[in-house]
Structure 1
């Protein structure tokens, strides 16, 4: 405002606020300057999972319920999206669903949805378990626009954020340990609705929008369950390989099952380890494509891996092991659904005993 950007003063609940005209040239210039500097510092950092497009509306959620109550136009939304697209070339961009549909006709919603997704932007919903949405969208587990996320989740990670946890409790929509008690007026427990909402959206990232101490004290078991369930959750079901392997070319097959609700969006490498009683003879194969981006939720998939045993390998008995790694994250170990007793200190999972001749 002080820089000369056009805007509107509004009063809501006794609070005075100033809302910019979202495509005002001065406003966009300042927004561009900020994001240029922010991107220089954070874009592409491996520990930044995504960046929100949060420059329009209350809390950056794309709506103006508590200010002007005037929704942003299609042109205003596009102008803001373009600033983010201009500055962030590496990190995943995400926008809230409200930014695309708040106060808009179906044709405009379609235009903005296609514009965002065609430019590689993913989506988030911050409203599940809001009481109004429970009342009006219980058939879709309080998710207002389930069509936004399927099939988008097959290509991009979806972000889920619960209604303020304290408010969910205040509204009577979270009862008992782990939210397991049924809410009489809805016929489901809060935890049931939460599970189904996360599944409906195929969410990779989930948040409870509250204080960690309170959430964890109330929901210790549910936390562990949902941490596994969101995104991908890989289980090696079975493996097929010859008990005697030869120097040179060999094949090992593993059947995988994804018990999560989404695919992974990075390609993970698979490393085999041949472990000898004499450490000097042990060796590991170079990472190969595990095929994990094809492991869709609820579907088992058998991968046939072609490996080469070096000519320098000593003949004898080896313990065959494997592990998954994310090479884009400094060979980060990918934890899979396997008992801890079946993994070693380096994260390798034992398959069995083989001989090399």
Structure 2
């Protein structure tokens, strides 16, 4: 076996746009007015490095203004535009907002049907209605809505995830601006199970505040965290660089970074910045350093900048590039170890050593393909999948070696060959998407294979 070291071909500067990782854009942000309201018809942010999905967070009442009558057009128009652009979509449907212009995030007809709840004053002189989160009428109507929503969207290949947003202010899992109660954990379990019942194919996500904002001492925090994990739900944090947290919880501003340690090896972590302009105004932005530190501590796969996208990107392109690579996985090939001569009728071996320079594993398996391109006047390519490969095992900050066995077809003539590999995401229905590696584009051929070494067939 001959080892070829490939570190000289690494490219740590280029920004890659890979599946199932990266940035997201807030399009609807607890209402229909921001931040997509300033998008123009021609700017689709193709220059946004590592943009993965568009995030739609809006109240239930917009989508079901009358019982059983759904206004899907509000979101379908956004979905159609951005899926055509190549983005995925994520959702949070909320039941409680905090501004007087959204008094009934839960549709008013739910209250009129007998659901219990309470009005609370808002900072702008109005009031909002908070449902009784355990009320049977409320939960029955909520269940029917999510049944309809899931029937329409759960199986869509463009679906990134669904936040569980049915409990708390803005769906964040706390009730600070309303009842300010720790609702019984049994009620929280009902909300978890309601979503798990309907979303069979979509990753569910929930704010860590549903645990972290509860008062300590009764064991409910530990039990809730375990219940979330056991149901296959993952965590997000919506408060990076919020002034309150920035003043109390260190550089990353994460109140409970230890929560994420239980999840990130198996499920993707989602982080959200405080409203960007607010971080600038309160001097908690600090050139994005707290945001970067939070991404590292939580081993995040997705992050949202939470503001008007074009101004943020113009002011923070360097950070967007850096974090776009670090979020999730970021693969490099360290070396290849292969016999210089391959023989027909033998299981020829090659070993590739991989490094993941990202902050998390990939949670989807991608297909690794081998190419053998015959050199000479007439090129001939032979391709095969390396079935022993499983990129989900390539953990961050680890060196991962995989050995593959290749049997050559008798039809492949003797001669000298360039040996290359490529990683591919199978998107279904015959569609595929390459997974870019942190290798120089100069060693990539016209079919997307990274040429690593040469061998001879005898």
TM-score (norm 1): 0.91
- 2:382 is the counterpart of 1:283: yes
Q: Alpha-carbon deviations, 1:173-231, whole Å to 9, x = none?
A: 235xxx1xxxxxxxxxxx32221111110000111111110111111111110000011
- 2:294 is the counterpart of 1:225: no
Report the counterpart of residue 235 of structure 2 in structure 1: 123
Q: Which of 311, 322, 334 is equivalent to 2:435?
A: 334
Report the counterpart of residue 365 of structure 2 in structure 1: 267
In the TM superposition, 1:155-304 aligns within 5 A as 155-175=266-286, 179=287, 191-248=288-345, 249-277=347-375, 281-304=380-403
Q: Take 1:307 and 1:45, find their aligned partners in 2: how far apart are those partners?
A: 36
TM-score (norm 2): 0.72
- 2:117 is the counterpart of 1:7: yes
Q: Alpha-carbon deviations, 1:266-317, whole Å to 9, x = none?
A: 1222100111257773110134242321211111111111122112212222
Q: Take 1:259 and 1:2, find their aligned partners in 2: how far apart are those partners?
A: 54
Q: Take 2:182 and 2:222, find their aligned partners in 1: how far apart are those partners?
A: 16
Structure with larger RCO (C-alpha < 8 A, sep 6+): 2
Count residues with an aligned counterpart.
Answer: 342
Contact 1:269–1:289 (8 Å) recurs in 2: no
Q: Take 2:137 and 2:372, find their aligned partners in 1: how far apart are those partners?
A: 62
Consecutive unaligned residues in structure 2, runs of 5 or more: 1-110
Q: Take 1:7 and 1:174, find their aligned partners in 2: how far apart are those partners?
A: 37
Contact 2:241–2:285 (8 Å) recurs in 1: no
Q: Take 1:56 and 1:309, find their aligned partners in 2: how far apart are those partners?
A: 58
Contact 2:161–2:203 (8 Å) recurs in 1: yes
Q: Take 2:369 and 2:329, find their aligned partners in 1: how far apart are those partners?
A: 19
Q: Take 1:68 and 1:12, find their aligned partners in 2: how far apart are those partners?
A: 12
Q: 1:23 to 1:279 in 2, by over 3 A?
A: farther
Q: Take 1:338 and 1:57, find their aligned partners in 2: how far apart are those partners?
A: 45
* 3-state SS of 1:326 partner: strand
Q: Higher mean Cα deviation, 268-277 or 118-127?
A: 268-277
- 2:153 is the counterpart of 1:42: yes
- 2:443 is the counterpart of 1:345: no
Q: Take 1:231 and 1:221, find their aligned partners in 2: how far apart are those partners?
A: 18
Q: Take 1:174 and 1:135, find their aligned partners in 2: how far apart are those partners?
A: 13
Contact 2:206–2:235 (8 Å) recurs in 1: yes
- 2:192 is the counterpart of 1:91: no
- 2:455 is the counterpart of 1:354: yes
Deviation at 1:151, TM superposition (A): 3.3
RMSD: 1.6
Q: Take 1:338 and 1:11, find their aligned partners in 2: how far apart are those partners?
A: 56
- 2:413 is the counterpart of 1:306: no
Report the counterpart of residue 184 of structure 1 in structure 2: none
Q: Alpha-carbon deviations, 1:48-88, whole Å to 9, x = none?
A: 12110011111111112222223332122111111101001
**Which structure features the higher share of helix residues?**
1
Contact 2:353–2:399 (8 Å) recurs in 1: yes
Q: Which of 235, 242, 260 is equivalent to 1:149?
A: 260
Report the counterpart of residue 183 of structure 1 in structure 2: none
* 3-state SS of 2:247 partner: helix
Q: 1:279 to 1:136 in 2, by over 3 A?
A: farther
Consecutive unaligned residues in structure 1, runs of 5 or more: 180-190
Report the counterpart of residue 186 of structure 1 in structure 2: none
Q: Take 1:58 and 1:33, find their aligned partners in 2: how far apart are those partners?
A: 21
Q: Take 1:280 and 1:171, find their aligned partners in 2: how far apart are those partners?
A: 62
